[in-house]
Amino acid sequence: MKNILFVASECVPFIKTGGLADVVGALPKYLDKSRYDVRVILPKYTAIPAKYKENMKYKMHFYMDFCWRSQYVGILETVVDGVTFYLIDNEFYFSGDKPYGNIYEDLEKFAFFSRAVLSALPLLGFRPDLIHCNDWQTGLIPVYLHDSFQQGAFFRGIKTVMTIHNLKFQGVWDKKTIQNITGLSSYYFAPDKLEAYGNGNYLKGGIVYADYVTTVSNSYAEEIKCAFYGEGLDGLMRARSNCLCGIVNGIDYDEWNPETDKYLVQNYNAQDFRKEKKKNKLALQEELGLERNPDRFMIGVVSRLTDQKGFDLVECVLEELCCDDTQIVILGTGDPKYENLFRHYEWKYKGRFSANIYYNNERSHKIYASSDAFLMPSLFEPCGLSHLISLRYGTVPIVRETGGLRDTVVPYNEYECSGTGFSFANYNAHEMLSIVRYAKHVFYNKKREWNKLVDRGMAADFSWKTSAKGYEDLYLKLLGE
């Protein structure tokens, strides 16, 4: 039995701002419990809902030297779905209504968290064989393990994996401040370690010192070796390419299941979607004040409204997308420019366009189940979960060929009758418009082919079981079982 510890800054069901929380909440559940004792450690934010705090039991506390003063470190414990979670308590660092704030405060917060995690392990009596770190917030753990935590026998030989969920966010500030916060010597602030372009960089430290680096799709693992996607670290990614791989994320097949989804007006499956799926569309059209017509082509979007997600392309051709024969439903928040643009188009095309500028879990389930197509034209996409959910719900994805989108959506080929969605290669608004029109043509004029596309999409397996197998193979390789 090998011990695996996941360390992350967020995790469902406790706290979530993005896909990282979904991964850390789901993956530990699906690892083989007969071979791995898997536990998770994260901060105890005051923003965690009370219903989860009520089930946390006080485990212990201690004081730790950090930033020239003695800091309180509390440890609480809870079990969710058979997985043990430890939460690090310190209200000075983890108060507030959201997990992240100003970057200069977050840098100190997560340096404290990283040191507290390692300091707590001997007291918990849990010695991990492998620590699985996630994103820049945990980038210091491999560095600290290499530095001050090498003195005791307890820590010697612990392996580390660093998973990059999005290379854009790296935890960067000026070198002197980061050196003061972390307590690391000037040895670590060289270009082959934590220093990058004159600044200190948490994620770079994690990538340099981890035993293995993973990212959340094969294509993204290749893309980040190039300057365009590498966010200034492409040289490092090329240097570490012998210890770098991509493993595609999964989705929780219990939560995202059209056959049992409690938010749907009509449940359906791969056998009866032709008859039952449209009942959800009619109900959503009614709810949003759109024209009630089960045969109208509906495009769904559930996303952060940012340039990364391709909304500059959408803005270019939005007038052409808003045709008489198309309905568009958007759910999400983000850049005020896009929020206001979509509100304007809802006003302009009443009955055809619905802008839901907020996030609501129930509404997202309804959009996945009701739409005919799901648009995701990202500039870059490490993995992405929305298109995997849409496949599960029989909603055909229209994506740009990048990162995880390229790895998981097979482009439709009308001559071979193959594919699970539609894709375009260049980051170009009219290329996107052309592929949307092609999808619409198949929907209206080749209904049998469209339904076969849906069949193939619903048959694809993107559950966590498949992804967990990839991580288990990696652990096996590192731990030499």
Domain residues for the domain of 294 are 273-461
Residue 256 placed within a domain: no
Q: Is position 265 within any domain?
A: no
pLDDT tens digits along 325-379: 999 999 999 999 999 999 999 999 999 999 999 989 899 999 999 999 999 999 9
Q: Are 422 and 439 in contact (CB under 8 A)?
A: yes
205: phi then psi, degrees, rounded to nearest 5: -60, -45
Task: Note whether residue 255 is domain-resident.
Answer: no
Residue 481 pLDDT class (50, 70, 90 cuts): low
Q: Residue 388: in which H helix or E strand, if any?
A: helix 386-392
Q: What is the pLDDT of residue 166?
A: 94
Domains in the chain: how many in total? Answer: 2
Cα distance between residue 195 and residue 309, in whole Å: 30
CA neighbours closer than 13 Å in the CB half-sphere of residue 159: 17
Contact 246, 231 (CB under 8 A): no
Residue 57, pLDDT > 70, answer yes
Share of the chain above pLDDT 90, in %: 94
Is 259 within a domain? no
Per-residue model confidence as pLDDT tens digits over 177-215:
999 999 999 999 999 999 999 999 999 999 999 999 999
> Where residue 82 sits, what CATH number does that domain have?
3.40.50.2000
Structure token pair of residue 175: 């070198």
Rounded CA-CA distance 143/161 in Å is 12
Residue 264 lies in a domain: no
Residue 60, in any domain of the structure: yes
Q: What rounded mean pLDDT belongs to the chain? A: 96
**Residue 320 shares a structural domain with residue 204:** no
- Using one digit for the tens of pLDDT, what is the confidence trace for 141-151? 999 999 989 87
Joined tokens for residue 19? 């896909």
d(CA 209, CA 243): 11
Same domain, 471 and 446: no
| 305 and 333 inside one domain | yes
